[in-house]
Amino acid sequence: MPDPLTVASGICAAGALLSSWQLGRRAVRAEAEIGRLQAELTAERHAASHDPLTGLPNRRAFYRLAATLLTDRSGCRHLIAVVLDLDDFKQINDRYGHAAGDQVLVSVAERLATFAGDNLVARLGGDEFAGLLTSPTVDRRWIDHATRRLYDMLAAPIPMGAVTLRVTASVGLAPVQDSQLTEALNRADAAMYEAKALGSGRTGRALRDTAYLAEC
């Protein structure tokens, strides 16, 4: 006949093993739940700060990230505010449909991001985009060259099934002086609307703010 103490000891050991296993399972489930919640939180934060169509930062994120760039910049590096608006974008939606318009916006966003490289670009809303470019100088020649490159990239054909679309953009650029981002964006925006008012006859549809152009 088994020793009662031995049986009791075995039962206790088995119970301890079962309890340990159950605790381990609960810990695994808890870790999985924490991971899921963290992933959901990350996704929600990304959705709150990024444009759902193009994946670029949205208006709110642009101003927040730009403020950080203005605080952290060092050395002889200038910041150039860029504002661009597509020309006659409504006609694309009216003629080819909103799906085609969305594809154009995605293509423009990709090209703007490629042009900017590691610099900040964002979709402010509709067909309006903005950026904050770093430059070793605000020399007129550098800004003219950057403007031409950006315009040529945006104006490249966009294949879209049976049709190929070309879009142009009106662009305004303005150097950021004394960390005054809002002022620079207002000047860039005014230059952009001035370029748009000139009509399609102006190559590049872009103007620069010349009030503060100077060598570093």
Task: Tell me which of 51, 87, 127, 189 is the catalytic residue.
Answer: 127
Provide long-range contacts, Cβ within 8 A and 24+ apart, for 144-151. 144/208, 146/80, 146/173, 147/171, 147/173, 147/204, 147/206, 147/208, 148/204, 149/115, 150/82, 150/84, 150/112, 150/115, 150/206, 151/204, 151/205, 151/206
Q: Is residue 127 annotated as a catalytic residue, yes or no?
A: yes
Q: Which residues are catalytic?
A: 127
